[in-house]
A and B are shown apart, each in its own frame.
Chain A
Amino acid sequence: MIRPEEIKMSTEETGKWGMVIDQDICTGCQACVAACAMENNITFVGEKDSGYGRSMHWIRIERFWEGEYPEVKMTPNQPMLCQQCGSATCEPVCPAFATVHSQAEQLNLQVYNRCVGTRYCANNCPYQVRSFNWRDYKRPEPLSNQFNPDVTVRRRGVMEKCTFCIQRIHKAQDTAKSEGREVVDGEFTTACAQACPASAITFGRVDDPESLVSQLARAHGHGVKHLEELGTLPNVTYFKGG
Chain B
Amino acid sequence: MAGYNKKAEPAHAKAESHSHAEHLREKHLMLDPLPRGQMNSMVMESMYETSWKFWVVFAILSVIVAYGLFYSWGVMIAEGLGVAGVNRPSYWGIFLVNTVFWIGISHAGTFISAILRVFKAEFRRPFTRAAELMTTFGLVQAGFSVFMHMGRVWLAYWLMPYANQRMLWPNLHSPLTWDLLAITTYLLSSTMYLFLPLIPDLAMARDRSTGWRKTFYKTLALGFRGTEGEWAHLRNAMNIFAFAIIPVMFSVHTIVSWDFAAATRPGWNSSIFGPYFVIGALHSGMGAVIMVLAVVRGTMKHMKYFIRAEHFDGIAKLMLIISMAWAYFFFNDYMVQWYGGDKWTHQLLHFHEAGPMGWMWFAMLIFNIAVPWAVLWNQKWRSTPWIVFIVGFFINVGMWFERYIIIPISLSINRMPFTWRLYEPGIEIPLGIGTLAFFILLYMGASKLIPLIPVWEVEEGQMAHELKQFGRETVVSVSELE
A and B: interacting chains: yes
Give residues in A with beta carbon < 8 Å to B: 49, 52-55, 60, 62-64, 78, 80, 89, 92-97, 114-120, 122-124, 126-128, 131-136, 156-159, 227, 230
Q: Which of B21-29, B151-159, B376-384, B446-454 contacts A (4 or more CB under 8 A)?
A: B151-159
B115 CB-CB contact with A under 8 Å: no
Query: Using an 8 Å CB-CB cutoff, how does the interface string of B409-446 with A read, 1 for contact, 0 for none?
Result: 00100111111010010000000000000000000000
- Cα distance A94–B176 in the bound complex, in angstroms: 8
Is A132 a contact partner of B151 (Cβ separation < 8 A)? yes
Is B264 a contact partner of A97 (Cβ separation < 8 A)? no
Contact residues in A for B170 (Cβ distance below 8 Å): 95-97
- Cα distance A158–B150 in the bound complex, in angstroms: 10
Is A126 a contact partner of B149 (Cβ separation < 8 A)? no
Is A93 a contact partner of B175 (Cβ separation < 8 A)? yes
* B91, B158, B416: the one within 8 Å of A114 (CB): B158
25 A-B residue pairings within 8 Å (CB atoms): A53-B87, A64-B417, A93-B176, A95-B171, A97-B169, A114-B168, A115-B152, A119-B92, A122-B91, A123-B263, A124-B264, A126-B264, A126-B416, A127-B415, A128-B88, A128-B414, A131-B88, A133-B80, A135-B82, A136-B80, A156-B79, A157-B80, A157-B81, A157-B150, A158-B151
Is B88 a contact partner of A93 (Cβ separation < 8 A)? no
Q: Can you name 14 extra interface pairs (CB under 8 A) apart from A52-B87, A94-B174, A95-B170?
A: A53-B90, A62-B418, A64-B417, A78-B418, A92-B173, A93-B174, A97-B168, A97-B171, A122-B88, A127-B416, A128-B88, A132-B81, A135-B81, A135-B83
- Cα distance A82–B475 in the bound complex, in angstroms: 75
Query: Using an 8 Å CB-CB cutoff, how does the interface string of B236-273 with A read, 1 for contact, 0 for none?
Result: 00000000000000000000000100111100000000
B177 CB-CB contact with A under 8 Å: yes
Known A60-B418, A128-B414: A117·B81 in contact at CB below 8 Å: yes
B89 CB-CB contact with A under 8 Å: yes
Contact residues in A for B177 (Cβ distance below 8 Å): 95
Is A120 a contact partner of B174 (Cβ separation < 8 A)? yes
Number of A-B contacts (CB under 8 A): 139
Is B80 a contact partner of A156 (Cβ separation < 8 A)? yes
Contact residues in B for A158 (Cβ distance below 8 Å): 151-152
* B81, B158, B417: the one within 8 Å of A156 (CB): B81
Is A116 a contact partner of B152 (Cβ separation < 8 A)? yes
Contact residues in B for A127 (Cβ distance below 8 Å): 415-416
Is A93 a contact partner of B81 (Cβ separation < 8 A)? no
Is B91 a contact partner of A157 (Cβ separation < 8 A)? no
Known A116-B156, A118-B176, A123-B411: A93·B263 in contact at CB below 8 Å: yes
Is A115 a contact partner of B151 (Cβ separation < 8 A)? yes
Among B151, B159, B265, find the residue whose CB has the most chain A CB atoms closer than 10 A. B151
Known A92-B173, A118-B151: A132·B88 in contact at CB below 8 Å: yes
Lowest 7 CB-CB distances: which A-B pairs, in order? A117-B151, A157-B151, A156-B80, A135-B82, A53-B87, A134-B82, A119-B91
Minimum distance in angstroms from B181 CB to a CB of chain A: 10
Minimum distance in angstroms from B285 CB to a CB of chain A: 25
Contact residues in B for A159 (Cβ distance below 8 Å): 151
Is B88 a contact partner of A126 (Cβ separation < 8 A)? no
Known A95-B176, A134-B80, A135-B79: A126·B156 in contact at CB below 8 Å: no
Contact residues in B for A80 (Cβ distance below 8 Å): 416, 418
B221 CB-CB contact with A under 8 Å: no
- Cα distance A64–B420 in the bound complex, in angstroms: 13
B180 CB-CB contact with A under 8 Å: yes
Is A116 a contact partner of B158 (Cβ separation < 8 A)? yes
* B80, B151, B156, B168: the one within 8 Å of A119 (CB): B151
Is B89 a contact partner of A128 (Cβ separation < 8 A)? yes
Is A128 a contact partner of B419 (Cβ separation < 8 A)? yes
- Cα distance A116–B171 in the bound complex, in angstroms: 13
Minimum distance in angstroms from A133 CB to a CB of chain B: 7
Q: Which of B115-174 contact A (CB under 8 A)?
A: 149-153, 155-156, 158-159, 168-171, 173-174
- Cα distance A27–B424 in the bound complex, in angstroms: 34
Contact residues in A for B82 (Cβ distance below 8 Å): 49, 54, 134-135, 156
* B83, B159, B264: the one within 8 Å of A230 (CB): B264
- Cα distance A131–B158 in the bound complex, in angstroms: 22
Minimum distance in angstroms from A231 CB to a CB of chain B: 9
* B151, B180, B265, B418: the one within 8 Å of A95 (CB): B180
Minimum distance in angstroms from B414 CB to a CB of chain A: 6
B278 CB-CB contact with A under 8 Å: no
- Cα distance A126–B149 in the bound complex, in angstroms: 21
Is A126 a contact partner of B158 (Cβ separation < 8 A)? no
Query: Using an 8 Å CB-CB cutoff, how does the interface string of B191-234 with A read, 1 for contact, 0 for none?
Result: 00000000000000000000000000000000000000000000
B97 CB-CB contact with A under 8 Å: no
Contact residues in B for A97 (Cβ distance below 8 Å): 168-171
- Cα distance A114–B159 in the bound complex, in angstroms: 10
Contact residues in A for B322 (Cβ distance below 8 Å): none
Contact residues in B for A78 (Cβ distance below 8 Å): 418
Among B90, B152, B175, B177, find the residue whose CB has the most chain A CB atoms closer than 10 A. B152
